[in-house]
Amino acid sequence: MPESILPLIPVLLLILAAEFVNGWTDAPNAIATVVSTRVLSPSQAVVMAAVLNIAGALATGTAVAATIGKGIVNPEVITLPVVAAAMLTIIIWSTVAWFYGIPTSESHELLAGLAGAGLAVAGPSVLLWEGWQKVLIGLGISTFLGFFLSIGIMTALYWLFRRTRPALVRRIFSRLQILSAAFMAFSHGSNDGQKFMGVFALTLVLGRVMAKFTVPVWVMLLCGAVMGLGTAVGGWRIIRTMGFKLTKLEPVNGFAAETSGGLAILLASAFGIPLSTTHCINSAIMGVGATRRFSAVRWGVAGNIVMTWIITFPVSFILGYFFAWLFGIIF
């Protein structure tokens, strides 16, 4: 094995470890509602999510991956220690949140971790405003569009089926929810699935394994498989919080939440905007619950989730800065 490849191995392993943790805490977003309504079994939902996450990444280009790889921090200052610092940030913070069953945004951990590590290495000038504009737009899309779109879709469904027997509504949407869950998983791959693929490809460029930034198919397949494995191994904690603790869901509610979340994510992916799929689907679930009645949402659980969202950026930034500073001393 060439000596130039050796430094890449621990960094690539850290990226895959972060992708595995992403499977614990973020990928379950795509299947939580379809499992909680018992339309699909957990094993069926995990297989569907894994396949369609990869399909979403393959079919929708690499605009989001390019934003992560080249648009957040000046690529000239990104080194293997900077990437390693960002990955350690994700692994640590996501594992802590997963332990308490709280869904976190690996997207925001990745962005803040890269920013903190880049700042530790080269100062504020490394942050690229154009990329951060997309991040701020994505924050708005994921938090508000998912919520209000789900309210609109749910209200329309209530009106359309107002004279239909509840048993028939459940039977219809038990079938339709399979399609909406598949759409959500595909959308998740189109945006979130690309992020770690982008970092993996960037690392190969840094190690001079590839001459220019592209995301090969084998990288997509590898990252998608690792994420699916993470969901299968540890995704149940997050599925339980989102699907059972946040609000009571029927198939029609799951259909509305998944459809609105998926539409918001695809809109962002089309413009290369990295957003939090966690924010999207959780906001959508809150929206469908609030449509039934405001008290139908367990706002204490929702508050814990939102508080975790708020502190994720500063905590991840500090961790990224610390690890990059530490690696600078060691190496």
The pLDDT of residue 22 is 86
pLDDT of residue 62: 67
DSSP type of residue 276: -
Copy the structure tokens of residue 63.
């605009």
Distance, CA of 331 to CA of 329 (rounded, Å): 6
Do residues 65 and 265 make contact, with C-beta atoms less than 8 angstroms apart?
Answer: no
Domain that holds residue 25: 3-330
Please spell the DSSP secondary structure of 188-242, one letter per residue: HHHHHHHHHHHHHHHHHHHTTSSSS----HHHHHHHHHHHHHHHHHHTHHHHHII
Residue 305 clears pLDDT 90, i.e. is over it: no
Q: Do 290 and 152 contact (CB within 8 A), yes or no?
A: no
The proportion of the chain whose per-residue pLDDT surpasses 90, expressed as a percent, equals: 32
Give the mean model confidence (pLDDT) for residues 298-320: 90
Query: Which pair of tokens denotes residue 42?
Result: 């957990």
| Mean pLDDT computed over 223-238 | 82
Residue 96 pLDDT grade (very low, low, confident, very high; cuts 50, 70, 90)? very high
pLDDT level of residue 11 (50, 70, 90 thresholds) = very high
Residues sharing a CB contact under 8 Å with residue 116, sequence separation 6 or more, in sequence order: 85, 86, 89, 316, 317, 318, 319, 320, 321, 322, 324
**pLDDT band at residue 1 under the 50/70/90 scheme:** very low
Q: Span 225-251, mean pLDDT?
A: 82
Q: Name the pLDDT band for 4 (thresholds 50, 70, 90).
A: low
The pTM score is 0.86
pLDDT at 33: 85
Segment 20-28 shows an average pLDDT of: 82
Average pLDDT of the segment spanning 102-129? 87
d(CA 178, CA 107) in angstroms, rounded, equals 26
Burial of 293 (0-12, 13-18, 19+ CB in 10 A): exposed
* % of the chain surpassing 70 pLDDT: 97
Between 242 and 90, where is the model more confident? 90
Contact 219, 16 (CB under 8 A): no
pLDDT of 302 > 50? The answer is yes
Tally the domains of the chain. 1
Tokens of 137: 């737009």
For the ranges 67-71, 99-103, 119-123, 218-222, the lowest mean pLDDT is seen at 67-71
- The CA radius of gyration of the chain, in Å to the nearest whole number, is 19
CA distance 261 to 279: 9
In this structure, what is the dihedral angle of CA atoms 225, 28, 266, 248, given to the nearest 10 degrees?
A: 160
